[in-house]
Amino acid sequence: MTTRNITRFWEWGRKIICIGRNYADHAKELKNAIPTEPVVFLKPPSAYVREGSPILVPLYTSNLHHEVELGVVIGKGGTSIPQAAAMEHVAGYALCLDMTARDIQDECKSKGLPWTMAKAFNTSCPVSDFIPKERIPDPSSVKLWLKVNDHLRQSGCTSQMIFSIPYLISYISDFITLEEGDLILTGTPKGVSSVQEHDELQAGIEDVITMNFKVDRQE
């Protein structure tokens, strides 16, 4: 029998819970209101893609955007987790991209429909290697960046988040039980932009990790 290892959480089939509009500068660039409560949506575990495999542009979009985000990997499950205990439930982190079919999302928004087609497609969640908790002692102040073909597009700091990681863990766990191996994407800073087939994306958390992904067209 093989034992599950949290360092390969993407193989566990657990939830990917995403927070939107958690950076005011990104909410503004898309002309969205600054939220007074977290905006929550989900991706299925089939959205994961790892370095070495390409990000695939769905056939139905002509405006695929990158969103670089800090991911929080849950190590201990729970329901109604108090903010003060939230960090005890964190096993570590991952650098993540929330790939978004922006044209489809705009259409869904205008029709009042869910974002599933825009956010949850195959390869919509590229993830880095697992980052043990000790490697990011202060997750409320880490710098994230993303380059497309060597041009810097996104650069932000988790200190700009509207809702903190402990607040998000507590908020989510009030209505979705968190389980070991779940991943929370904490939102993206400004600078989101289009990617095309053959583009090369490079992203990093300053002093901690970098990752690279190629973009390909779906066959």
Is residue 26 part of the contact set for ligand OAA (CB under 6 A)? yes
- Encoded tokens for 122: 């195959």
CB of 2 to Mg ion, least distance (A): 32
> Rounded distance, CA 3 to CA 166, Å?
29
CA neighbor of 95 nearest in space, from 119, 66, 115: 66
Least Å distance between CB 44 and ligand OAA?
16
Contact status: 154 vs ligand OAA (CB under 6 A) = no
What are the strands, taking DSSP E only, across 102-164?
Answer: 125-127, 131-132, 143-148, 151-157
Helices (H), 156-198: 165-173
R_g over Cα of the chain: 16
Least Å from the CB of residue 185 to ligand OAA: 7
**Per-residue contact string for residues 97-126; x = within reach of ligand OAA by CB under 6 A:** -x-x----x---------------------
Helices (H) and strands (E) in the chain, counts: 4, 16
Position among 67, 73, 182, 205 found at the interface with Mg ion (CB under 5 A): 67
Does residue 187 interact with ligand OAA by CB under 6 A?
A: yes
21, 91, 97, 98: which one contacts Mg ion (CB under 5 A)? 98
3-state secondary structure of 104: helix
Q: Are 97 and 190 in contact (CB under 8 A)?
A: no
* Residue, CB closest to ligand OAA: 20
Length of the chain: 219
Residue 182 binding: pick among Mg ion, ligand OAA, none (C-beta 5-8 Å cut-off by kind): none
CA atoms within 13 A on the CB side of 48: 22
98 or 182, CB closer to Mg ion?
Answer: 98
Residues that bind Mg ion (CB under 5 A): 67, 98, 188
Residues that bind ligand OAA (CB under 6 A): 18, 20-21, 26, 30, 67, 98, 100, 105, 187-188
